[in-house]
């Protein structure tokens, strides 16, 4: 935009052929699976990310700043981008790579600098870069192991998905159980059907067949309101577009899903709303000047906490977390994990969908893996490994022994 090639002549119209000729090589370099003529509106989150990266490459920049460039990319797309960054570096381009995915930072960085609370708190040379050193700089202390065992053993019952058919895979059935008091991780490659299952369980997409049962009782879910009334809540993958109303303040976002609780004669009681908001802000340590602060001004971690506060102010029975820590810092991630465990220990069924292998293995009590719209296997903690998860993700059985 703003650099369109123009045709010769008095009208100076955009030359579409030259435009495509410029853009197609950039998309090919990134391995994009869409054409230069595709509408951005129709692209997935990962594909839109590739458009942003292609735009940066198109101007032959001397310095490129990449802010969480892989947050929506698949593993294959991420590897391709890291190769492109290596090529840029070889061509003399400087890259500032901002990321919370420390494995990527370790793989490509020549030097690491860390900001905390708006100040630079340290720097690591290439030989000093490792996970532990980066985490110490980011949060000011050593981070304990991700996994927190449940306070009590998960018990039977909870949420059962029996032969559920989603719109994304109308020829496949999903069978899954989420026990009381456990965090069930749901892994799989992008497009395997995880988000489609979450949308169906929350009533956004129509369930084509099968049953959803809570504590043995079949329930009907044809809309998000019905799911909410049953205590099934969704923390969506894209919190900015589908989890929050960014131009509204924190308090109004927190109470939005249960407005009638705060209404008197159909008018909102602002005092009740402020009390509820204040309680959740304190509980979740939401950093903001006040409950009238607009959500758009908050960091990613604090925005995610506002989404959580909306549901925690109600009575959750099942909470579905879709990519719960995407784009938030390590310290906030640890707080989210602690909140998930607190909910599970409070007898809530937790389904955590994540593409972050370290997160899935480090946080889950069990891991279910999806492949092409169905569950390809379930792993207990003794069988947890990246190898086993990836085998199931590509539809291969876990090796015995």
Give residue-wise pLDDT tens across range 79-100: 878 888 888 888 888 999 998 7
CATH architecture designation of domain 155-393: 3-Layer(aba) Sandwich (3.40)
- pLDDT computed for residue 139 by the predictor: 66
Domain ranges of the chain: 16-109, 155-393
Collapse the DSSP code of 15 into the 3-class scheme (helix H, G, I; strand E, B; otherwise coil) and give the result.
coil
Beta strands in 25-173 (DSSP E): 63-67, 94-98, 111-116, 119-125, 155-165
- pLDDT computed for residue 31 by the predictor: 80
- pLDDT computed for residue 141 by the predictor: 56
Which tens digits make up the pLDDT trace of 290-325? Answer: 889 999 999 888 999 999 999 988 889 999 999 998
Q: Establish whether domains 16-109 and 155-393 are of one fold.
A: yes
Average pLDDT over residues 222-226: 95
User: Model's pTM, two decimal places?
Assistant: 0.70
Which tens digits make up the pLDDT trace of 112-141? Answer: 999 876 789 999 999 999 877 887 787 665
281 φ, ψ (degrees, to nearest 5) = -60, -40
Task: Categorize the per-residue pLDDT at 6 as very low, low, confident or very high, splitting at 50, 70 and 90.
Answer: confident
- pLDDT computed for residue 373 by the predictor: 92
Average pLDDT over residues 3-23: 84
Task: Categorize the per-residue pLDDT at 196 as very low, low, confident or very high, splitting at 50, 70 and 90.
Answer: very high
Contact 361, 385 (CB under 8 A): yes
Q: For domain 16-109, give the CATH superfamily.
A: P-loop containing nucleotide triphosphate hydrolases (3.40.50.300)
Closest-CA residue to 350 (of 362, 335, 367, 333): 367
- pLDDT at residue 22 is higher than 80: yes
Long-range contacts of 119-125 (CB under 8 A, 24+ apart): none
- pLDDT computed for residue 144 by the predictor: 52
Average pLDDT over residues 326-336: 82
H helix runs in 59-99, sequence order = 75-90
Q: Looking at 9-13, 32-36, 72-76, 185-189, which range is the least confident one? A: 72-76
- pLDDT at residue 145 is higher than 70: no
- pLDDT at residue 102 is higher than 90: no
Higher local confidence (pLDDT), 157 or 74: 157
Report the largest interatomic distance among the alpha carbons of the chain, rounded to a whole angstrom: 77
Neighbour count for residue 89 (Cβ, 10 Å): 13
Question: How far is it, in rounded angstroms, from Cα 320 to Cα 304?
Answer: 13
- pLDDT computed for residue 357 by the predictor: 82
**What rounded mean pLDDT belongs to the chain?**
88
Average pLDDT over residues 348-365: 91
């Amino acid at each position: 935009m703003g650099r369109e090639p123009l045709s010769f002549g008095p009208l100076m119209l955009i030359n579409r052929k030259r435009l495509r000729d410029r853009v197609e090589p950039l998309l090919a370099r990134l391995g994009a699976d869409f054409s230069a003529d595709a509408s951005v509106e129709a692209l997935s989150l990962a594909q839109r990310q590739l458009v942003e990266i292609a735009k940066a490459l198109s101007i032959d920049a001397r310095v490129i700043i990449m802010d969480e460039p892989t947050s929506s990319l698949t593993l294959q797309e991420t590897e391709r981008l890291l190769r492109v960054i290596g090529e840029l570096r070889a061509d003399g381009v400087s890259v500032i790579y901002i990321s919370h995915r420390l494995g990527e930072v370790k793989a490509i960085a020549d030097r690491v600098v860390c900001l905390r609370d708006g100040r630079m708190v340290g720097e690591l040379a290439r030989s000093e870069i490792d996970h532990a050193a980066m985490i110490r700089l980011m949060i000011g202390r050593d981070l304990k192991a991700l996994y927190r065992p449940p306070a009590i053993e998960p018990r039977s019952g909870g949420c059962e998905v029996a032969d559920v058919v989603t719109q994304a895979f109308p020829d496949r059935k999903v069978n899954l159980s989420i026990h009381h008091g456990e965090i069930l991780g749901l892994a799989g490659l992008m497009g395997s059907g995880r988000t489609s299952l979450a949308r169906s369980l929350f009533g956004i997409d129509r369930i084509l067949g099968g049953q959803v049962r809570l504590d043995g009782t079949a329930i009907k879910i044809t809309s998000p309101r019905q799911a909410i009334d049953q205590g099934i809540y969704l923390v969506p993958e894209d919190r900015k577009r589908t989890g929050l109303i960014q131009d509204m303040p924190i308090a109004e976002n927190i109470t939005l899903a249960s407005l009638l609780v705060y209404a008197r004669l159909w008018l909102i009681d602002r005092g009740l709303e402020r009390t509820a908001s204040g309680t959740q802000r304190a509980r979740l340590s939401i950093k903001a000047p006040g409950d009238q602060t607009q959500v758009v001004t908050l960091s990613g971690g604090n925005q995610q906490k506002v989404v959580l506060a909306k549901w925690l102010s109600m009575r959750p029975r099942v909470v579905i977390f879709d990519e719960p820590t995407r784009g938030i810092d390590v310290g906030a991630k640890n707080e989210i994990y602690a909140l998930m465990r607190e909910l599970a220990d409070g007898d809530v069924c937790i389904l955590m969908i994540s593409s972050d292998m370290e997160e899935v293995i480090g946080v889950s009590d069990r891991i279910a893996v999806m492949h092409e719209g169905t569950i390809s296997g379930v792993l207990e903690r003794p069988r947890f490994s990246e190898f086993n998860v990836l085998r199931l993700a590509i539809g291969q059985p876990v090796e015995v022994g």
